[in-house]
Amino acid sequence: MDFFNTLIVVLDSTVRLSIPLLFACLAGLYSERAGVFDIGLEGKMLAAAFASAAVAAVTGSAWLALGAAVLISVFFALVHGFASITHRGNQIVSGVALNFIAAGTTVILGQAWFQQGGRTPSLGAEARFNAITLPFAEAARDIPVIGFVYYELLSGHSILVYVAFFMVFATWWILFRTRFGLRLRAVGENPAAVDTAGISVAWLRYRAVICTGILCGFAGTYLALAQNAGFVKDMTAGKGYIALAALIFAKWRPVPAMFACLLFGFLDALAIRLQGTPLPMVGRVPAQFFQALPYILTVILLAGFIGKAIPPRAGGVPYVKER
């Protein structure tokens, strides 16, 4: 029973830790399925986290903060689109550039506006997305197994957590059950065919990167307003890259993307749980090993030892209309 309780608690923190990954991963899915590689998920998340924390600190409204985060993130996405769709620039270079701009600007503006060494003021409960208790959770708490799982694992998350899981389904539906989704996938595989059908490749790709921006805005807001209470310098700490890895691991499909993000979240939760405790047979494992573990696993996964990941065929290639 003790083991079971520990497991549920670890799974609970798995859910919390995988939400920013999930938002960012779904964000990348739209852009990459449309043939625009986006390595700038990290920067968009960071900018969104800062925007939401700053607006929440000034206005005290979590919803306004979310709106601001989405706006900033979409702006970054549009700059990426402007460089890589309109001007046919290198998509990876553009993403790297935006990551640096976000990393620098958030700290400089944070310092100038709030004078706290680049962080934003700590937010009170009213300016954050707080945990919501699902109906009957308190009452069901004492029911063995089922009640405990309901109370501990399913209930008690912020609304953004439920939005994230809903977005997995929504993304699947948009991509595979709507006309827009069909065209979006087509433009990532064979843009010339889409162009021949009389549909604008550029406009379709712009719409895809706007979707990316919106979801990255959610990812950043979750980091700043649900997981933490404010913005801290470099708070994304490589999550954008992990999300990208999860996307590749999931072979650019929404439901596997969810499982990949949950796996990486689980590793993270396990690392926090196991820090400092000696493992059976291996003994004490240095903390740095656990910090590096998600990255090492990503490399092993990317090496294709677990199935081969084939990216959208037109990914990374700017579209030049033949004349």
Decide if 35 contacts 205 (C-beta within 8 A): yes
Residue 131 belongs to what H/E stretch?
strand 131-132
- Dump strand ranges (E) for 157-276: 157-158
Cα 99–218–316 angle (5° rounding)?
45
Q: How many CA atoms lie within 13 A of 266 on its CB side?
A: 11
DSSP assignment string, 242-263: HHHHHHHHTTT-HHHHHHHHHH
Spatial distance between the Cα atoms of 249 and 260, rounded to a whole number of angstroms:
7
The pair phi, psi for residue 285, each rounded to 5°, is -100, 130
Q: Which is nearer to another protein, 136 or 289 (CB)?
A: 289
Task: Name which of residues 233 to 272 contact another protein (CB under 8 A).
Answer: 238, 241, 244-245, 248
Among 58, 101, 149, 199, binds another protein (CB under 8 A): 101
Spatial distance between the Cα atoms of 156 and 135, rounded to a whole number of angstroms:
10
Residues in contact with another protein, shown as a per-residue x/- string from 102 to 121 under the rule CB under 8 A: xxxx-xxx-xx-----x---
Q: Which is nearer to another protein, 129 or 241 (CB)?
A: 241
Among 84, 155, 171, 221, binds another protein (CB under 8 A): 84
Residue 237 belongs to what H/E stretch?
none
Among 4, 7, 63, 88, binds another protein (CB under 8 A): 88
Q: Which is nearer to another protein, 74 or 246 (CB)?
A: 246
Stretch that binds another protein, among 17-25, 49-57, 78-86, 122-130 (CB under 8 A): 78-86
Task: Name which of residues 22 to 51 contact another protein (CB under 8 A).
Answer: 39
Residue 296 makes contact with another protein by CB under 8 A: yes
Q: Which is nearer to another protein, 201 or 226 (CB)?
A: 201
Q: Which of 57, 71, 21 is nearest to 268 (CA)?
A: 21
Residue 289 makes contact with another protein by CB under 8 A: yes
Stretch that binds another protein, among 21-29, 53-61, 99-107, 222-230 (CB under 8 A): 99-107
Decide if 234 contacts 103 (C-beta within 8 A): yes
Residue 67 makes contact with another protein by CB under 8 A: no
Q: Which is nearer to another protein, 156 or 318 (CB)?
A: 318
Residue 306 makes contact with another protein by CB under 8 A: no
Decide if 245 contacts 24 (C-beta within 8 A): no
Q: Which residues bind another protein (CB under 8 A)?
A: 39, 79, 82-84, 87-94, 96-105, 107-109, 111-112, 118, 238, 241, 244-245, 248, 286, 288-289, 291-292, 295-296, 298-299, 302-304, 308, 311, 320, 322-323
